[in-house]
């Protein structure tokens, strides 16, 4: 039997009055708001649901279970999809069953349609009670909007206070005459304003960051491990030129925070914030903030960034003024160069001078010149392995590109017919010898001589068959590489005597044949050294020496070329294969860079324009 408790209703109304001026965290607001709504409606279970984008379209912001053991809450969870699909976005929607009713209350937000709803399960189905509860719940629809307005007002006041703090900090820094006193003041003021346990500031010195000031510390030892770790974290932020916040929940791996995490472990700090100090879009320093309790919020990062940006120019000017005499002298020298070249178009004039000096160097300074040309690996020691007789391929044990040892069986021909023929000839030979012996015993000389001639003929045939059997296995005559020949697909097919099966070559005698253009051949002499790089391994280079230049030119697609034969200075690798191509660079003495770039053009013009 449903019966509303006046004391519970009074407690709910009191909580709602407090919520209308609440400006705390949203999580606590939704919890208290659900409790007060449940008290007002007399609900035993309640949920606050937010519509979101994603695989699960409903997000639970708060739950209320009035001592039901969780069963009623599970029932309400199961009703979420159907209830949210049918509920109104303006008024309270009621879903009644045989034993209870569910009230869906849309919560109004500023300038946007409602996305948050309150679902309350009430143990009543009486129309008059449902109507009374619906009217009561209609009065709380605007409470979240009041909370939103209150929070925005608080944020505006906080922002105003932060801006005033930035202006006060700017005034304080403008009164400081030196760099170190200014950065010390900045560290102390930021630590006080944002409740930091320590604030450190480092300044760029070449490629590194050097710690200059630390809050609540007049001096520190630069060789201390903690100081070095702080400088490493600052350098990490400066290199990436971005703010780094630890813990970094939103870091997707694009930021490197290893040094920050190392510093955090060394100092047992709860939260870190590192901000680069920029001047004219260049990083000139880094500020490192630490907190023991509480993380740095987005608002903190924004306000601190605004404070640093406002004072970065003043700090940079103080740093330039406080430098030692040598650094100031270097700046003075740069200014004098500008005076000599003129203050207008100084960089253009300097570029012109540098270009003139570079042109003189190009025209007069000799550099090493090497002739580039395509090349191919070749070898003269090549053997053709042919079929010893007509037959059929039985097995193949090697293919093109493989290295074989001397005596290795590369291919075998079918021996079955030869073995049968050998057995038949041997049987016939034995028979003829027996007849020869019989005729000799009977002194039948004519028949004996005929049998003797037949035996000799059969013996010759037997030798031929045995010779073929011995040559049925095609073996490598020496250690080398199979250049051509892939007979695996021909197993079982016939071959003719003398048909070339494999092309075998030695890699020990492999050489380089460079195809040098006739316009460059006069720059190459026998004995010149050079290098080659093969297309298969362009990152490896091999030293060569020119042995000879073929006397006759050969026509090629690019024009006439001369074949330059070169030998390798060292032992060639085992992976070298005849036919491999690449690029050769052969030494041609020292030439000026201008000659290297322009000699082909001048040769062409001389050839075309002479008279």
The predicted pLDDT at position 72 comes to 79
pLDDT, tens only, 226-252: 889 999 999 999 999 889 988 876 666
- Are both 495 and 419 inside the same structural domain? yes
Beta-carbon contacts of 237 under 8 Å, excluding residues fewer than 6 positions away, are: 243, 244, 260, 274, 275, 276, 286
Distance CA 475, CA 410 (A): 6
* Confidence check: pLDDT of 200 > 90: yes
Q: Domain range holding 448?
A: 382-501
The predicted pLDDT at position 2 comes to 45
- Are both 343 and 457 inside the same structural domain? no
pLDDT, tens only, 5-38: 677 767 767 777 777 777 677 788 888 888 888 8
Query: Using 50, 70 and 90 to split pLDDT, how confident is the model at 1?
Result: very low
Domain-embedded: residue 102: yes
Whichever domain contains 438, its CATH number is 2.40.50.100
Query: Using 50, 70 and 90 to split pLDDT, how confident is the model at 375?
Result: very high
Q: Which of 176-190, 321-335, 536-550, 595-609 has the lowest mean pLDDT?
A: 321-335
Whichever domain contains 562, its CATH number is 2.40.30.170
Domain-embedded: residue 186: yes
Distance CA 474, CA 409 (A): 6
- Are both 523 and 472 inside the same structural domain? no
**What's the mean pLDDT in 374-399?**
83
pLDDT, tens only, 393-443: 888 888 877 778 888 888 888 888 888 877 888 888 888 888 878 877 877
- Are both 353 and 473 inside the same structural domain? no
Query: Using 50, 70 and 90 to split pLDDT, how confident is the model at 111?
Result: low
Torsion of CA 166, 170, 173, 175, to 10 degrees: -140
- Are both 298 and 412 inside the same structural domain? no
Domain-embedded: residue 276: yes
Domain-embedded: residue 165: no
Q: Are 59 and 80 in contact (CB under 8 A)?
A: no
Domain-embedded: residue 369: no
The predicted pLDDT at position 593 comes to 86
Domain-embedded: residue 533: yes
- Are both 238 and 284 inside the same structural domain? yes
Number of domains in the chain: 5
- Are both 305 and 335 inside the same structural domain? no
The dihedral region occupied by 345, where left means phi > 0, alpha psi between -120 and 50, and beta the remainder, is left
Give the closest residue to 350 by CA, choosing from 364, 362, 360, 340. Answer: 340
* Confidence check: pLDDT of 202 > 80: yes
pLDDT, tens only, 590-611: 888 888 888 888 888 888 887 6
- Are both 488 and 516 inside the same structural domain? no
Q: Where are the beta strands (DSSP E) in 403-510?
A: 403-404, 409-413, 473-475, 480-484, 494-495, 500-505
Integer CA distances (angstroms), 43 to 17, 60, 156, 584, in order: 19, 18, 37, 90
- Are both 53 and 145 inside the same structural domain? yes
Domain-embedded: residue 492: yes
For 159, phi then psi, to 5°, come to -60, -40
Mean of the per-residue pLDDT values for the chain?
82
Domain-embedded: residue 162: no
- Are both 528 and 446 inside the same structural domain? no
- Are both 244 and 317 inside the same structural domain? yes
- CB atoms under 10 Å from CB of 554, counted, come to 11
Whichever domain contains 240, its CATH number is 3.30.450.40
- Are both 336 and 289 inside the same structural domain? no
Higher pLDDT, 340 or 582: 582
The predicted pLDDT at position 146 comes to 77
Distance CA 290, CA 274 (A): 9
């Amino acid at each position: 039997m449903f019966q509303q408790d006046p004391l519970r209703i009074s407690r709910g109304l009191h909580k709602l009055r407090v919520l209308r001026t609440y400006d705390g965290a949203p999580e606590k607001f939704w919890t208290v708001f659900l409790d007060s709504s449940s008290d007002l409606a007399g609900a035993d279970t309640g949920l606050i649901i937010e519509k979101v984008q994603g695989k699960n379209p409903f997000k639970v912001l708060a739950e209320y279970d009035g001592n039901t053991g969780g069963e009623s809450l599970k029932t309400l969870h199961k009703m979420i999809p159907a209830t949210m699909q049918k509920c109104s976005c303006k008024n309270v929607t009621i879903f009644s069953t045989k034993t209870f009713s569910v009230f869906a209350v849309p919560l109004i937000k500023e300038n946007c349609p409602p996305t948050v709803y309150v679902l309350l399960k009430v143990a009543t189905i009486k129309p008059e009670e449902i109507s009374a509860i619906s009217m009561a719940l209609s009065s709380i629809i605007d409470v979240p909007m009041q909370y939103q307005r209150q929070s925005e007002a608080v944020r505006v006041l906080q922002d105003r206070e932060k801006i005033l703090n930035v202006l006060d900090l700017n005034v304080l820094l403008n009164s400081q005459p030196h760099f170190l006193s200014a950065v010390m003041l900045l560290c102390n003021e930021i630590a006080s304003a944002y409740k930091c346990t320590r604030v450190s500031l480092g300044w760029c010195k070449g490629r590194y960051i050097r710690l200059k000031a630390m809050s609540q510390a007049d001096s520190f030892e630069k060789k201390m491990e903690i100081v070095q770790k702080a400088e490493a974290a600052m350098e990490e932020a400066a290199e990436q030129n971005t703010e780094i916040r630890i813990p970094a929940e939103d870091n997707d791996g694009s930021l490197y925070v290893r040094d920050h995490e190392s510093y955090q472990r060394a100092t047992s700090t709860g939260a870190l914030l590192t901000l680069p100090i920029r001047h004219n879009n260049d990083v000139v320093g880094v500020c490192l903030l630490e907190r023991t309790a509480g993380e740095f919020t987005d608002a903190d990062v924004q306000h601190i960034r605004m404070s640093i940006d406002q004072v970065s120019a003043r700090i940079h000017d103080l740093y330039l003024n406080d430098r030692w005499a040598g650094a100031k002298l270097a700046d003075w020298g740069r200014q004098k160069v500008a005076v000599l070249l003129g203050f207008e178009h100084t960089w253009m004039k300097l570029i012109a001078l540098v270009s003139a000096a570079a042109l003189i160097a190009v025209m007069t300074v000799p550099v090493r010149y090497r002739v580039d040309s395509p090349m191919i690996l070749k070898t003269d020691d090549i053997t053709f392995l042919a079929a010893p007789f007509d037959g059929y391929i039985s097995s193949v044990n090697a293919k093109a590109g493989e290295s074989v040892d001397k005596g290795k069986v590369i291919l075998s021909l079918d021996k079955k017919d030869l073995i049968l023929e050998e057995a038949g000839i041997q049987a016939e030979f034995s028979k003829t010898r027996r007849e020869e012996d019989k005729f000799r015993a009977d002194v039948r000389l004519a028949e004996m001589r005929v049998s003797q001639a037949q035996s000799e003929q059969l013996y010759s045939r037997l030798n031929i068959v045995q010779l073929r059997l011995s040559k049925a296995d095609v073996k490598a005559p020496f250690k080398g590489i199979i250049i051509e020949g892939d007979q695996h697909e021909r197993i079982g097919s016939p071959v003719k005597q003398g048909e070339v099966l494999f092309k075998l070559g030695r890699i020990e005698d492999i050489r380089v044949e460079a195809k040098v253009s006739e316009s460059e051949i006069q720059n190459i002499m026998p004995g010149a050294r050079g290098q080659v790089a093969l297309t298969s391994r362009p990152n490896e280079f091999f030293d060569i020496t020119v042995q000879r230049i073929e006397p006759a030119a050969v026509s090629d697609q690019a024009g006439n070329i001369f074949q330059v034969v070169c030998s390798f200075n060292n032992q060639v690798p085992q992976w070298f294969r005849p036919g491999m191509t690449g690029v050769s660079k052969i030494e041609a003495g020292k030439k000026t860079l201008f000659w290297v770039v322009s000699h082909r053009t001048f040769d062409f013009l001389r050839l075309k324009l002479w008279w």
